[in-house]
């Protein structure tokens, strides 16, 4: 899901202008909408940078621009600008908001259970020993 044109109309004042060298050498910057769409894909899927699909700019470009935008505070201002614009249009009501701080701690040890006879055992996910190749006959 890429950034739509109506949302993109809100963002240009927030994003830094494309940078070009004074001497004209080097490659021009990729368009900010393309890079932002690549970043959104990474953030939405949680995939590693190297798995960025071909329809987006190269992963190195997106990663570098993400680092620049995080350092300069641009990433923080994008959702704020979109929420402010939506609220101005009447599409966002903040009178009732809930922030969910739920978290679940993972068990750091093995999984313990009881068999049919009521004896305790340590499970390893699939019910098999962790290292079946290490068992002695």
Residue recorded with tokens 């190195």: 60
pLDDT over threshold 70, residue 122? no
Closest CA to 63 of 47, 85, 87, 77: 47
| DSSP one-letter code for 133 | G
pTM confidence score: 0.59
Give the tens place of pLDDT for each residue, 18-70.
777 778 787 778 888 888 899 989 988 888 999 999 999 999 999 999 999 89
Q: Give the start-to-end residue ranges of the domains of the chain.
A: 5-88
- 108 phi-psi bin (left φ>0, alpha ψ -120 to 50, beta other): alpha
- Helix 32-45 crosses helix 59-72 at what angle (to 10 degrees)? 90
Which pLDDT does position 134 carry in this prediction? 47
Which pLDDT does position 38 carry in this prediction? 92
């Amino acid at each position: 899901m890429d950034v739509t044109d109506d949302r993109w109309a809100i963002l240009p004042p927030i994003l830094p202008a494309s940078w070009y060298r004074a001497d004209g050498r080097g490659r021009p910057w990729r368009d900010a909408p393309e890079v932002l769409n690549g970043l959104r894909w990474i953030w939405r899927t949680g995939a590693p940078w190297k798995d960025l699909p071909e329809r987006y700019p190269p992963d190195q470009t997106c990663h570098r621009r993400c680092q620049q935008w995080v350092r300069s505070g641009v990433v923080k201002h994008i959702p704020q600008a979109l929420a402010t614009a939506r609220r101005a249009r009447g599409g966002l009501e903040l009178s009732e908001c809930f922030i969910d701080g739920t978290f679940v701690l993972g068990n750091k040890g093995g999984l313990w259970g009881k068999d049919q006879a009521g004896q305790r055992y340590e499970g390893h996910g699939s019910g098999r020993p962790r290292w079946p190749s290490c068992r002695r006959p």
